[in-house]
Amino acid sequence: MSERLSFEEILDLCIQDVVAGVATVDQCLARHPEHRARLEPALRTAFDLSALPRPAERRPDPARREAFMDLIREAPQQEPRRLRGGLRRPALPRMRAPSFRAWGAGAFAMRALPAGALALLAVFLVFGRGATPAAAATLTVFAGQVEQQVDGAWQPLADGASVHEGLAIRTLSGAHALLTFPDGSTASLGQGTQVSLARIEVDGQRRIEIEQAGGRLWNDVVPVQGDDSYRVRTPHATVDAHGTVFETVVDTDTSVSTVDGLVRVTSAGGIVDVLTGQVVRATAEEIASPEAIPLVGEITVRAPMAAALTSTDGAATGLLPSGVVFRQVPGVTTTGPGERQQHMFVGNITPGVYTLWLRRYADGDGIVVIETQADRLNVPVPANVRTARVLIAIDIVDGGVFMRALDTEIETVPEAEAPAVRVVQSQRTRAAVELAARVQSAETATATEAPTETRTPAAATPAATEAPTGTATRPSGAATATADIPWPLALRVALDTAARTQDNTVLAQVLERVLDGDDQQDRERLDALAEAIQDPADRVRVVAVLAMNVSPDVRDELGAAIEEMLGTRAGTALRDGLTELWLGLEQAPAPDPTSTATEEATQAPVATVTATPTAEPTSDDRGEDRGGDDDEDRRRGFLNELLERWRERIREGNRGQSESTDSNLRATETDRETVTATATPEPSPTASPSATVEATRTPTLEWWRR
Amino acid sequence: MSAVGVTSPVRGVFGHTGGPLLPSWREAKPNETGRHSLDQSEARERAVPSGADEDAGVIRPLVDRAKSGDAEAFGALYDRFQPEIYRYLVIRVRDQDVAEDLAQQVFLKAWQAIPRYEHRGAPFRAWLYRMAHNQMVDYFRTYRHTTDLEDVELPEAAEAEGLVLAAEMSEALHSALDRLSEDHRQVLVLRFLMEKSAREIGEIMGRKEVTVRGLQMRALQALRREIESQGGLP
């Protein structure tokens, strides 16, 4: 916001003065000579209007008042409004299953990335000062003063500074700062927070350890793998996270709130796993049972716009059109890129006025739904709006935190006025940008190869489908440079990069796309999937994401794909992963993070999923019936269903009813390993996903019992 | 209103530290640190009583009692707001009897709906204005054809103390107002005939203050064009 008053403000002030008789029209005009031409007619009109005669107020006629009182004594009142059940539920809701079909060409940020978005991203990224060594975090100061301890004395620390392992820093009153670790994990320090970075290791295994002496620390942890760890130590407890969003508040005790994922709190009082939507409080002696975190509001973006909620100090939580995700505002989290809808959840947030920024990443209109305890506001987003904002207020009333939208419509804003989001470059942002760029360039190639391809559902590949979106804005040189990239490469690159971003949501979007059927290139898709899950470390995560984080349609396709691949290495990997997942859920309703397999298997879905196996993918409003605590049941239900179906198929296979029903799959009767590597199937636009289901091998029943 | 509305941003996760009742955001613009400073906007809104102050001190207890079915408390609200709502309706429909009836309907509906009123939403006064506006729009939808300009009464012009504006000029302005869009007309009536600030108009219309200022500017421009298209004011 500029310091200078806008014309509207000047006019308003002048009107105030003129109407109140404090100044004449001429005096106002003399004060603002630069606006005279516009100001004068408006002010003269205002003056005329203010001189209009107006009726005086008068007290109601006593007889009329008496009649009225008689009336209301008889008139029944309405029932008080009830808070919506969805907001009463204890847990913060998790992500919904995404579907790529919903937006058609603009299904997810990365695929429909406008060419300008990459260039734009550079503007948004903030680079650390000088070359930041790997074992250091980069400091971003949003407000106030931050200090580091040097030889026992506190000295000011500048914005952009590197904070090395072993260093202690603190935020003074009124300050807000962010530490960005090399992997992209961030810790947001509220005012009066003191931490020291006990450990920052990022080469090979990632180990980040923060000692928090006091204050409020909001952590957004890039999902960890294997023995990686992200740990916060407080005087009262040790908090371990594995890819999650959580907050630690240290005062006379330590409270730990998990907003996404799962966090393990270890203290002298015991070990407690804090699930999404829970808070637990630990003192040096004891640890309380988890309680629910109240949800203040939810913002759902059902438009091809990347949304970010920014506070007045410049901290932001949300997405950029490039797919870069950031969670810097304490109390607010967002789902990642690739969701059909972006969801932002507002919990324990500092009161104030926030701005919801919307930036377009693909064509199309839609709505933004702003849901608070009191109401639900649908804000339309027209197709011609590129950048827009909505103001959101967070108030404390009677000790409770309340959110409300201050606008009922979006305010279109010139792109240049949208504030830069201060995201420090990290492995995470690089991966997101790289993914976006490579997917885009591969898709450009596809678009170039098949410029006449239409969006016929049976014939269009995902790449071709979105070609029209990007063609207009793509740089002209890109197409020739990448013209020879075959179609599946985009997916392989995307999978590969998504695995490295270690973000389940990104992974889900790519996998969903891999599995999204209705195209002729089943073989390539499966091949790409097979490659993706060769690495055992990724396997369970991939499977969990596949099973939980994709739409029912795609899950059907998943079933088909796995059966298709049984007997191949990829098929075996998928099968084993799913079995692990299944066993994990079977054995541990409360996840047990001590076992690596179980931990991975249970944690991934907890972190990212609200599986709605029965919901139609076309339902635009899955949020309505968020069941809440029955996610676990839903997951089990889905797995049961899936496994039962497979068992049935396998039994059928055992009974010798396994002839392939589709000429396109004949090749599977021979050695799959060879086929998947070499075959180029004939185009078969009519091949439905279910046609790929018939198993031609005769797998045993043992694999799922194990 | 004191400036201590917001306590420390560091709050326990089990809830909030409570503290004094926060005024509406409109009383408290955020400063650069994201916290409220309650005196910033006072200069601008100097002539306007703070709706939240009034709400917190006097109105709110009455509203709470009315919410739980206390007709006498609602009677007090009626006494306090009926004259203003009536005046707004007279200006809009320019017929005292119709305005009186509409006002009665507004307050009856308000009584019925008050259990659903939420303090954290619009201030009570703005809530009443919205109801009055809706009632008026309904009225025009049904009876528009009967309120052409010939029927318009302007008895108030004669009563208005010392105003020299000729009835003709008033008529021309009203006629120009009538040709504006409803949003433009509403913002001008509220601003110039009901003497509301941009902030209060925002509360009534459910718009942001800055939006109201823009709307006000465009409404004045539109009114100007309308007047000029009729050859200017007499």
* DSSP string for A154-181: EEEE-TT-EEETT-EEEE-TT-EEEEE-
Residues 6+ apart with CB under 8 A from A119: none
Does A197 or A59 have the greater pLDDT score? A197
Q: Decide if pLDDT at A159 tops 60.
A: yes
Query: What's the CA gap between B34 and A311, in Å, rounded?
Result: 7
Whether residue A151 lies within 8 A of chain B, CB to CB, comes out as no
Question: What pLDDT is attached to residue B85?
Answer: 94
Token pair listed for A643: 């496994």
Per DSSP, the three-state class of B43 is coil
Which sign, positive or negative, has the C-alpha torsion A604, A606, A610, A614? positive
Taking CA atoms, what residue in B is nearest to A68? B104
Question: What pLDDT is attached to residue B96?
Answer: 86
Contact B223, A44 (CB under 8 A): no
| pLDDT tens digits along B95-153 | 888 888 899 989 998 998 898 888 777 889 999 998 898 888 878 776 654 444 334 44
* CB within 8 Å of chain B, chain A residues 270-299: 279, 281, 291, 293-294
Best to test chain B binding among A11, A19, A395 (most B CBs inside 10 Å): A395
Query: What's the CA gap between A118 and A112, in Å, rounded?
Result: 12
Whether residue A79 lies within 8 A of chain B, CB to CB, comes out as yes
Does A479 or A131 have the greater pLDDT score? A131
Contact A8 B19 (CB under 8 A): no
For residue A195, name the pLDDT band (cuts at 50, 70, 90): very high
Query: What's the CA gap between A143 and A161, in Å, rounded?
Result: 15
> What pTM was estimated for this model as a whole?
0.43
Taking CA atoms, what residue in B is nearest to A252? B12
Q: Decide if pLDDT at A666 tops 50.
A: no
**Chain B: closest CA distance from residue A85 (Å):** 16
Q: Which of B18, B120, B207 sits opposite A399 (nearest CB)?
A: B18
Cα-based distances in Å from A687 to A457, A553, A568, A691: 12, 15, 22, 6
Cα-based distances in Å from B82 to A74, A540, B123: 20, 67, 16
Q: Mean per-residue pLDDT for A630-646?
A: 56
Token pair listed for A463: 């790449």
Report the percentage of chain A scoring pLDDT > 70.
52
Contact B30 A49 (CB under 8 A): no
Question: What pLDDT is attached to residue A532?
Answer: 59
Whether residue A406 lies within 8 A of chain B, CB to CB, comes out as yes
Query: What's the CA gap between B5 and A292, in Å, rounded?
Result: 26
Q: Which residue has the tokens 């939420």?
A: B118
Give Cα A565 distance to the centre of its chain.
Answer: 31
The count of CB pairs under 8 A between chains A and B is: 242
Task: Give contacts of B179 with chain A, Cβ < 8 Å.
Answer: none
Query: What's the CA gap between B206 and B133, in Å, rounded?
Result: 12
**Angle (nearest 5°) at CA B57 between B52 and B63:** 85
Token pair listed for A134: 């790997």
| pLDDT tens digits along A542-593 | 666 655 555 555 555 666 666 666 666 666 666 666 665 555 544 443 333 3
Query: What's the CA gap between A403 and A351, in Å, rounded?
Result: 9
Contact A81 B115 (CB under 8 A): yes
Task: Give contacts of A404 with chain B, Cβ < 8 Å.
Answer: 120-121
For residue B206, name the pLDDT band (cuts at 50, 70, 90): confident
3-state DSSP: chain B helix, strand, coil percent, rounded to 5? 65, 0, 35
Q: Decide if pLDDT at A395 tops 60.
A: yes
Q: Which residue has the tokens 């020291």?
A: A196
Whether residue A401 lies within 8 A of chain B, CB to CB, comes out as yes
Contact A15 B216 (CB under 8 A): yes
Q: Which amino acid, residue A254? A: T
Question: What pLDDT is attached to residue B129?
Answer: 92
Q: Residue A354 burial by CB count (10 A; 0-12/13-18/19+): exposed, middle or buried?
A: buried
Task: Give contacts of B175 with chain A, Cβ < 8 Å.
Answer: none
Contact A508, A545 (CB under 8 A): yes
For residues A541, A546, A551 and A555, what is the CA-based torsion angle, rounded to 10 degrees?
Answer: -160
Q: Which residue has the tokens 């470390």?
A: A537
Contact A109, A361 (CB under 8 A): yes
Whether residue A81 lies within 8 A of chain B, CB to CB, comes out as yes
Query: What's the CA gap between A353 and A351, in Å, rounded?
Result: 7
Q: Decide if pLDDT at A239 tops 80.
A: yes
Task: Give contacts of B47 with chain A, Cβ < 8 Å.
Answer: 16, 20
Q: Which of B69, B78, B191 sits opposite A65 (nearest CB)?
A: B78
Q: Mean per-residue pLDDT for A294-322?
A: 88
Query: What's the CA gap between A237 and A233, in Å, rounded?
Result: 6
Closest Cα to residue A374, out of A78, A77, A86, A76?
A86
What rounded mean pLDDT belongs to chain B? 70
Contact A348 B11 (CB under 8 A): yes
**Chain A: closest CA distance from residue B36 (Å):** 7
Question: What pLDDT is attached to residue A501?
Answer: 56
Taking CA atoms, what residue in B is nearest to A66? B75
Token pair listed for A522: 């089943």
Q: Decide if pLDDT at A538 tops 70.
A: no
End-to-end CA distance of chain B: 46
**Chain A: closest CA distance from residue B113 (Å):** 6
Task: Give contacts of A172 with chain B, Cβ < 8 Å.
Answer: none
Contact A233, A266 (CB under 8 A): no
Closest Cα to residue A628, out of A336, A276, A317, A144?
A276
Q: Which of A216, A352, A397 sits opposite B35 (nearest CB)?
A: A352
Whether residue A378 lies within 8 A of chain B, CB to CB, comes out as no
Q: Mean per-residue pLDDT for A620-639?
A: 46
Residues 6+ apart with CB under 8 A from B232: none
The radius of gyration of chain B from alpha carbons, rounded to an integer in Å, stands at 20
Question: What pLDDT is attached to residue A178?
Answer: 96
Question: What pLDDT is attached to residue A263?
Answer: 86
